[in-house]
Amino acid sequence: MGLLSEGSPLDWEKTKDLADHVRKHGIIQFINLYKRLRDRQGDILKWGDEVEYVLVKFDDEAKTAKLSLRAADILQVLNEKEQSDPDNIKSLWRPEYGAYMLEGTPGKPYGGLLVHFNIVEANMRYRRQEASKLLGPNEVLMSLTNFPRTGAQDFTDPPTRSTPDDGAARSLFFPDEAIYPGHPRFKTLTRNIRKRRGEKVAINIPIYKDENVPRPFKEDFSNLVDDESNYAAQEDHIYMDAMGFGMGCCCLQLTFQACNIQEARTLYDQLAPLCPIMLALTAASPFYRGYISDVDCRWNVISCSVDCRTREERGLKPLKENKFRISKSRYDSIDSYLSEQGEKYNDVPLTYDDEIYKQLLDNGIDKLLAQHVAHLFIRDTVSLFSEKINQNDAEDTDHFENIQSTNWQTMRFKPPPPNSSIGWRVEFRPCEVQITDFENAAIVCFIVLLTRVILSYKLNLLIPISKVDKNMARAQRRNAVVAEKFWFRRDITSDAKQQDDGQPEYTEFTVNEIINGKDGVFPGLIPLVNSYLASMDVDADTHCTVQGYMKLIQKRASGELLTTAAWLRKEVLSHPEYKQDSVITQRINYDLLKKVQKIVSNEISCPELLGTCISSKTNETIPAAVAKAENISL
Ligand code: ADP
Ligand code: MG
Ligand code: MG
Ligand code: MG
Ligand code: MG
Rg, Å, the chain Cα set: 24
Q: Dihedral sign, CA of 129, 135, 136, 141?
A: negative
Tell me what percent of the chain is helix, strand and coil, each rounded to the nearest 5: 40, 15, 45
- Residue 292: name the closest of 66, 572, 562 by CA: 572
* CA 145 to chain CA centroid, nearest Å: 10
Determine whether the shortest distance from the Cβ of 425 to ligand 1 is under 6 A: yes
| Beta pairing partners, 92 | 105
pLDDT of residue 633: 77
Q: Is 257 helix (H, G, I), strand (E, B) or coil?
A: strand
The best mutation among 3, 44, 50 to test binding of ligand 1, ranked by most ligand atoms within 8 Å of the C-beta, falls on: 50
* CA 219 to chain CA centroid, nearest Å: 30
586-591 long-range Cβ contacts below 8 angstroms, 24+ apart: 586/62, 586/63, 586/64, 586/65, 586/149, 586/154, 587/63, 587/64, 589/64, 589/65, 589/148, 589/149, 589/290, 590/58, 590/59, 590/63, 590/64, 590/65, 591/63
What's the burial of 549, exposed, middle or buried (CB within 10 Å: 0-12/13-18/19+)?
buried
Nearest CA to ligand 1 atom 23: 422
What's the burial of 223, exposed, middle or buried (CB within 10 Å: 0-12/13-18/19+)?
exposed
Cα 254 to ligand 2 centre (Å): 9
| Beta pairing partners, 343 | none
Which ligand has the shortest distance to the CA of 3?
1
Cα 430 to ligand 5 centre (Å): 10
Nearest CA to ligand 1 atom 17: 48
Chunk the chain into consecutive blocks of 10 residues (it has 634) and report each block's average pLDDT, rounded to whole numbers: 66 98 98 97 97 98 98 97 92 98 98 93 98 97 98 98 95 97 96 98 98 95 78 96 98 98 98 98 98 98 98 98 97 98 98 98 98 98 96 97 98 95 98 98 98 97 98 98 98 76 91 97 97 91 95 98 98 98 98 98 96 81 68 71
Peptide bond into 184 cis (omega under 30): no
* Helix (H) or strand (E) segment spanning residue 287: strand 287-288
- The answer to whether 177 touches 99, Cβ cutoff 8 Å, is yes
Q: Is 357 helix (H, G, I), strand (E, B) or coil?
A: helix
pLDDT of residue 1: 41
Residue partners of 290: CB distance under 8 A and separation at least 6: 148, 149, 151, 152, 153, 155, 583, 584, 585, 589
Cα 401 to ligand 1 centre (Å): 15
Cα 254 to ligand 5 centre (Å): 7
Cα 377 to ligand 2 centre (Å): 21
Determine whether the shortest distance from the Cβ of 49 to ligand 1 is under 6 A: yes
Distance CA 436, CA 148 (A): 17
- Residue 239: name the closest of 151, 299, 132 by CA: 151
- Residue 616: name the closest of 412, 361, 442 by CA: 442
Distance CA 345, CA 466 (A): 9
Determine whether the shortest distance from the Cβ of 23 to ligand 1 is under 6 A: no
Q: What is the pLDDT of residues 410-433, one digit of tens each?
A: 999 999 999 899 999 999 999 999
Peptide bond into 576 cis (omega under 30): no
**Residue type at 546?**
V
Strands (E), 147-251: 156-157, 203-206, 237-240
Name the residues around ion ligand 5, CB cutoff 5 A.
50, 253
What is the predicted ipTM? 0.97
User: What's the distance, Cα to Cα, between the start and end of the chain in Å?
Assistant: 27
| Atom from ligand 1 closest to the CA of residue 422 | 23
| Beta pairing partners, 57 | 66, 139
Nearest CA to ligand 1 atom 1: 1
| Beta pairing partners, 111 | 46
Q: What is the pLDDT of residues 469-527, one digit of tens each?
A: 999 999 999 999 999 999 999 999 987 666 567 788 999 999 999 999 999 999 999 99
Distance CA 6, CA 421 (A): 23
Determine whether the shortest distance from the Cβ of 106 to ligand 1 is under 6 A: yes
DSSP string, 467-484: HHHHHHHHHTBTTHHHH-
Distance CA 152, CA 439 (A): 28
pTM above 0.90, yes or no: yes
Cα 111 to ligand 3 centre (Å): 21
Nearest CA to ligand 1 atom 4: 1
- The answer to whether 509 touches 474, Cβ cutoff 8 Å, is no
pLDDT of residue 43: 96
Strands (E), 108-187: 110-111, 139-142, 156-157
Which ligand has the shortest distance to the CA of 1?
1
| Atom from ligand 1 closest to the CA of residue 109 | 16
Distance CA 548, CA 325 (A): 47
pLDDT of residue 507: 97
Cα 551 to ligand 5 centre (Å): 26
* Helix (H) or strand (E) segment spanning residue 28: helix 19-37
274-282 and 465-475 are packed helices; what angle lies between their axes, rounded to 10 degrees? 10
What's the burial of 454, exposed, middle or buried (CB within 10 Å: 0-12/13-18/19+)?
buried
**Residue type at 593?**
L
> What letter does residue 342 receive in the DSSP assignment?
G
